[in-house]
Amino acid sequence: MLILTIVGLKLVTLCKIVTIRNLTINLGRASALPFFFFINSYMTTALDRQPDKLDYLSPTQFRFGIHQLPKVEFFTTAATIPGINMGEAIFPTPFKDIPIMGDKLTYDNLEISFIVDEFLENYTSLHEWMTAIGFPKDRKQFRNFRSNTSSTPSASATPSTERVGKVTSANALFSDAYLMVLSNKNNPILEVDFHNMYPVSLSALQFSQDATDVQYITASATFSYQIYEFTTL
């Protein structure tokens, strides 16, 4: 009778152990399933974050054009995509001041460099544009450029008789421009459009007899504008 009792206790204990092991295995499988999905989803997200375009941007693959200066486009050797800056406000505290993001963007000027042609046509066209804006000699410089020289159409059809108090359109003194970014195979991939642009500075031309080799004269110009935008081509 005692032997049967001992055998019965052993059987009960073995049954409990088997039950606990089965429960552990089932729980392990249940917990491993979400863990597998977690690993799989994490790897998928990591793969999605990998870039699919590994080519580098070349500084020589670009094309610049400006409506007001068609003779400058062909000779342009350098151009920049201007930087932008956002101001910030400082919230004073007895300890460290806390910076707060600003609400206005400041655009840097557009700068280009171009080779001056032999007859200085591209240089003088930019010079005439700046002269028309400043009209250092006579107001006719402004009117003649707006009516005859400018490539940008003016909103005013009859600017010959101007009176005090009459609104004078200045659309002809502005121009749009673009900077097209090309791929390594010279295919257009991105275009930067500049709106309502006008020149603010033009560099000097330096002639010298001391040059040991022929180095063609280049000029640089700086433009201000309203805004620029990116367009994917």
Same domain, 26 and 68: no
Report helix, strand or coil for 138.
Answer: coil
Tens digit of pLDDT for each residue in 118-168? 999 999 999 999 999 998 888 888 888 888 788 776 644 444 455 555 556
- Domain span including residue 11: 1-47
- Considering the entire predicted model, what is its pTM? 0.71
Same domain, 151 and 40: no
Asked if residue 218 is part of any domain, the answer here is yes
Give Cα separations from 11 to 2, 14, 17, 18, 49 (angstroms). 14, 5, 10, 11, 57
Asked if residue 80 is part of any domain, the answer here is yes
Between CA 54 and CA 23 the distance in angstroms is: 51
Same domain, 77 and 192: yes
Domain CATH for 195: 2.30.110
Tens digit of pLDDT for each residue in 80-109? 999 999 888 899 999 999 999 888 899 999
Same domain, 114 and 195: yes
DSSP state of 113: E
**Number of domains the chain contains:** 2
Asked if residue 57 is part of any domain, the answer here is no
Same domain, 28 and 88: no
Q: What is the pLDDT of residue 169?
A: 66
Structure tokens at 182: 């090309």
DSSP 43-82: HHHHHHTS-S--PPPPTT-EEEEETT-HHHHTTEEEE---
